[in-house]
Amino acid sequence: MIVKFIDFFRDRLKATIWASYAVLAVLVVIDIVLVDKSHAHTWMEMKIPGWWSLYGFVACVLIIFVSKWFGHLGIMTREDYYD
């Protein structure tokens, strides 16, 4: 059952991807239009539309690239390094 469920989406990969983009867009729209921001902690959250979307995306990209850059400075090494 689980496998069928997964395969259902894998067989319609294009549609799934477009649906995912739509979800992201709707999320930002809801945030801008509907969500009450009077309790937000900082001005950035109130003034910048879709602030947390931007934050999430930038955070993800930063983590990937900074970590990989750091790793390739010599931190990542061959598996038998300590042998």
Partner 1 sequence: MIDFLHPAFILIVGALLLPFIPRPLKKAYLVLVPLLAFIDVFLFLQKGTFGIVTFMDWHLTFGRVDNLSQVFGYIMTLMCIIGTIYGLHVENDLEHIAAWLYVAGSLGVIYCGDYLVLFLFWELMAFSSVFLVWFRGRKESLATGYRYLLVHTAGGLALLAGIILRYQANGGDLSFGPIGVDIPSVSTYLIMIGFILNAAVPPFHAWLPDAYGEASVSGAVFMCAFTTKTAVYALCRGFAGMDVLIPLGVFMALYGVVYAVLENDARRLLAYHIISQVGYMVTGVGIGTQMAINGTCAHAFAHILYKGLLFMGCGSVLHMTGKNKFTELGGLYKKMPLAFVFTLIGGLSISAFPLFSGFVSKAMIVAAGFKEHMLWPAFLLTLASAGTFLHTGLKVPYFIWFGKNNCSEETWEKAKDPPWNMNVAMAAASILCIFIGCYTPYLYTMLPYPELAAQYNPYSAYHLSETLQILLFTALGFFLFVKKLAPEPTISIDMDWPYRMGGRVFYWVARKPIQFVDNCVSEFYRYVGLIPLMTQAKFWSWFDWHAIDGVVDGIARSVRGLGAIARRMQSGQLQYNIFYAVTIVAVVIVAYVLA
Q: Shortest distance, CB of residue 15 to partner 1, whole angstroms?
A: 15
Site for partner 1 in 8-67 (CB under 8 A): 23-24, 27-28, 30-31, 34-37, 39-42, 45, 50, 52-57, 59-67
Tokens of 67: 């970590």
In the chain the first and final C-alpha atoms are separated, in Å, by 45
Phi, psi of 51 (to 5 degrees): -55, -45
Helix (H) or strand (E) holding 39: none
**Closer to partner 1 at the Cβ: 11 or 82?**
82
- Longest Cα–Cα distance in the chain: 59
Residues of this chain that interact with partner 1 (CB under 8 A) are 2-3, 6, 23-24, 27-28, 30-31, 34-37, 39-42, 45, 50, 52-57, 59-68, 70-71, 74-79, 81-82
